[in-house]
Structure 1
Amino acid sequence: MSKLFFAVLAVLGVLLLPASASVGEDGLHKEPWFNMTFRDIGEDIATAKAEGKRLAIIFEQRGCIYCREMHEKLLSDPEVRDYIQANFMVVQYNMFGDEEVTDLDGEKLTEKTAARKWGYVFTPTIVFLPEEATDAPVNRAAVATMPGAFGKWTFLNMFRWVHEKGYEGDEHFQVYHARIIKELRDAGRLDAEE
């Protein structure tokens, strides 16, 4: 009886997982709308721009509980997912991977040596690239970087702030985020605790 009970629980657990919770052979959680590229960052910036989008690189690693949470709670949320899909070309990198990457300065690296070169040590880390390629390494060319996992509104507002080019203005992200949260509360979309 107990074996049947646990078998039913296991099947239900698999069936109830969000569609975005699939895991690839590399152990990373996958979204069907992530872009597969040759990881030439200059080319990826140009491709994103041609599609009317911005390039965002997400560094993840096998077994990362924060990455899993990002996929299961944030990237599966229709409001978050739809906004990102409409405005960003997202390319996933494995923090310890061996796939070849071409940095904006032309250097050829592996994913893991790129992460070291650019100083990214947390997963997930999301790197937002400029609209035009430069010859500076990614970490210096990036317009914003989001290290770690956050709640829905911080996560989504960072994507909005980058899309709206908030980094070019005087409103720091934290001020922008606080303003948006207040607007959401005033509109009745958030509780006082959120």
Structure 2
Amino acid sequence: MIRRVFLVLAAFATLTFQAWSAEVGEDGLHKQDWFALTFRDVAEDIETAREEGKRLVMIFEQRGCIYCAQMHEKLLADPEVADFIKSRFKVVQYNMFGDEEVTDLDGEVLTEKTAARKWGYVFTPTLMFLPEEAPEGMTAAEAAVATMPGAFGKWTFLNMFKWVDEKGYEGEEHFQKYHARIINELRAAGRLESE
């Protein structure tokens, strides 16, 4: 009887884990069904996002990245985080060591891995937030309005998306000050469990 109960609990735990964990693709990267599949032409992706009333964010990941897995299984599995991002951003995933073709804003055709090198990205996950319109004569990295290298807690992660959505990069309030203000507001409202 104890063994049967254990097997039922183990099966339930497995199903529960599968229900909230992100799918892993053949490339070894975790996938969200709401990530956009594009031809990775950065200017075109910026324009498509703008037409949809969204902003483009590119996420660099790599196979076996524990921080990428945490981002998918904790942050992007959180409805508050995922719903905000899905409603305001078009997300395109890049494999830091991938061979898929990428067209930079300056017109140069690269692979995902040569784009990562050209743009100076060495950590995964790295999120690159692009402007509302594609500028001419710049690389994607030069045009980025913000970059988030590495994995962070829920509020740092979500607040970066909110800061970009509110165009905080155009104002005087640096992201760190914005983030501290939001954290204080969450504490005052009794909503902050942990950062």
Q: TM-score, normalised by structure 2?
A: 0.92
Q: Which runs of 4+ in 1 moved over 6 A?
A: 5-8
Residue in 1 that maps onto 2:183: 181
SS in 2 for 1:17: helix
Structure 1 residue identity aligned to 2:178: Y
SS in 2 for 1:59: strand
Identity of aligned residues (%): 72
Residue in 1 that maps onto 2:173: 171
Structure 1 residue identity aligned to 2:35: F
Residue in 1 that maps onto 2:52: 51
Q: Structure 1 residue 19: deviation in Å?
A: 3.7
Residue in 2 that maps onto 1:96: 97
Equivalents in 2 of 1:35, 1:25: separation in Å? 17
Equivalents in 1 of 2:99, 2:59: separation in Å? 15
User: Could you report, residue by residue, the CA deviation over 1:146-168 in whole angstroms, capped at 9, with x for unpaired residues?
Assistant: 00000000000000000000000
Residue in 1 that maps onto 2:142: 140
User: Could you report, residue by residue, the CA deviation over 1:108-147 in whole angstroms, capped at 9, with x for unpaired residues?
Assistant: 0000000000000000000000011013001100000000
SS in 1 for 2:31: coil
SS in 2 for 1:90: strand
Structure 2 residue identity aligned to 1:80: V
Equivalents in 1 of 2:113, 2:11: separation in Å? 34
Matches within 5 A, 1:74-113: 74-113=75-114
Alpha-carbon spacing, 1:121–1:18, altered in 2? closer, same or farther (3 Å): farther
Structure 2 residue identity aligned to 1:190: L
SS in 1 for 2:123: coil
Residue in 2 that maps onto 1:154: 156
Q: TM-score, normalised by structure 1?
A: 0.93
| Structure 2 unaligned spans of 5+ | none
In the alignment, is the contact (CA less than 8 A) between 1:18 and 1:76 conserved in 2?
Answer: no
Whether 1:61 and 2:62 are equivalent positions in the alignment is yes
In the alignment, is the contact (CA less than 8 A) between 1:129 and 1:142 conserved in 2?
Answer: yes
Q: Structure 1 residue 12: deviation in Å?
A: 3.2
Equivalents in 2 of 1:143, 1:168: separation in Å? 9
> How many residues get paired?
192
Q: Structure 1 residue 8: deviation in Å?
A: 7.2
Alpha-carbon spacing, 1:6–1:102, altered in 2? closer, same or farther (3 Å): farther
Q: Structure 1 residue 30: deviation in Å?
A: 0.2
Q: Structure 1 residue 17: deviation in Å?
A: 3.1
Alpha-carbon spacing, 1:173–1:8, altered in 2? closer, same or farther (3 Å): same
SS in 2 for 1:63: coil
For the aligned residue pairs, the C-alpha RMSD in angstroms reads 2.0
Q: Structure 1 residue 11: deviation in Å?
A: 7.1
Equivalents in 2 of 1:128, 1:53: separation in Å? 11
User: Could you report, residue by residue, the CA deviation over 1:65-123 in whole angstroms, capped at 9, with x for unpaired residues?
Assistant: 00000000000000000000000000000000000000000000000000000000000
